[in-house]
Amino acid sequence: MKRRDFLKTAGVGAAASAIAAPAIAQSAPELKWRLASSFPKSLDTFWGGAERFCKMVGELTDNKFQIQPFAAGEIVPGLQVNDAASNGTVEVAQTANYYYFGKDPTFALACAIPFGLNTRMQNAWMWQNGGNQMLNDFFKTYNLYGIPAGNTTCQMGGWFRKEIKTPADFNGVKMRISGFAGMVLTKLGLVPQQIAGGDIYPALEKGTIDAAEWVGPFDDEKLGFYKVAKYYYYPGWWEGGTVIHNMINLEKWNSLPKNYQAVLTAASQDTMVWMTSKYDDVNPAALKRLVAGGAVLKPFPLPVMEASLKAANEVYGELTAKNANFKKIYDSIAAYRAEQYQWWQVAEYGYDSFMIRERGKGWK
């Protein structure tokens, strides 16, 4: 190579390096964020999801982007984490959005609603049918950006001190249950109670409440409900699949480089798969242990399910009539649910129902 050509090439290379270096630095800034979870460390699947998410963000960015997780109560109470993310106290909240039903019932549509979508339908609606965009159009009014980051799968119907044989048996029952389902069951005479997870057992033991719902076998076992309320009902029709979100301060989200936004999305999606698969893995064995320990497993009778669905549809009618945001998103979910179940009854239900019947014949 001639000396003149070498110098020319070297000059171009140096110029390119001078341009590339600050561009790279700008796309990978060093950031330290905080995440406030709605859940205590004792709930290792929820809390484990927060830890996994934060760890993955660090690993994907060579620890240039670090997020430190804090359990419920360490920075703010568990039911105030969305507020903390919205006002910038923390950058991220890990939460179940139906906790904010009292602010606006539209929040619940991001999480779980009575007789709503199951886990896979929720994923399909959110990622393929515009659900995430509709939800974030709503979230931005609270200075938040949400990314789905977990799912409990279908939950259980809760623990009761007495049997529920007819819809009338709900009358006067004091039950720890979340806001939306509580509103539905109020129409059947139930008295909903808002009680934090750690306070449920003593309330049941003392008779302050008559029933309680939490999550499912794995988490319920940790709280020991079977010792004080032996009837364990299913399914939890108010939570056919409960989505956990990472709720990010909108201004912080918008200030991130695109590659960091992609990192948060990828880490959230990974956590979604991890949490869902863990619940699928641990719940069967936990249910066996609960039954062996004295829990009496019972399905809600068909008349109870039908009365609950009727009450839920009444609530949906009331809410859609007065809340435009709720109506827009709920109408989308309801239409999607109808279409999905047309398909599920063909392949998924056909296969699963056959396999369940055959399992009963004793094969392994």
Provide the sign of the torsion angle of the four alpha carbons 214, 209, 224, 228, taken in this order. Answer: negative
What is the pTM (predicted TM-score) of this model?
0.91
Mean pLDDT over each residue of the chain, to the nearest integer: 92
Is the pLDDT at 12 greater than 90? The verdict is no
Is the pLDDT at 102 greater than 90? The verdict is yes
Q: What is the pLDDT of residue 4?
A: 46
Q: Which residue's structure tokens are 């979340």?
A: 178
Is the pLDDT at 15 greater than 70? The verdict is no
Alpha helices in 63-206 (DSSP H): 81-86, 119-128, 131-139, 179-186, 197-206
Please state which of the ranges 9-18, 26-35, 221-230, 342-351 shows the lowest mean pLDDT: 9-18
Find the mean pLDDT for residues 178-190.
94
Nearest to 80 by CA among 94, 62, 65, 64: 94
Q: What is the pLDDT of residue 331?
A: 98
Is the pLDDT at 7 greater than 60? The verdict is no
Is the pLDDT at 17 greater than 50? The verdict is no
What are the tens digits of pLDDT across the range 188-240? 999 999 887 778 999 999 999 999 999 999 999 999 999 999 999 999 999 99
Would you state the structure tokens that stand for residue 62, as one six-digit string?
A: 């060579």
Nearest to 264 by CA among 2, 111, 60, 10: 60
What does DSSP assign to residue 156?
A: P
**pLDDT class for 19, splitting at 50, 70, 90?**
very low
Q: What is the pLDDT of residue 364?
A: 62
Find the mean pLDDT for residues 293-307.
98
Q: What is the pLDDT of residue 197?
A: 77
What are the tens digits of pLDDT across the range 63-92? 999 999 999 999 999 999 999 999 999 999
Find the mean pLDDT for residues 316-331.
98
Nearest to 268 by CA among 47, 52, 109: 52
Please state which of the ranges 3-7, 67-71, 119-123, 188-192 shows the lowest mean pLDDT: 3-7
**pLDDT class for 26, splitting at 50, 70, 90?**
low
**pLDDT class for 27, splitting at 50, 70, 90?**
confident
Pairing verdict, β 92-95 and 158-160: unpaired
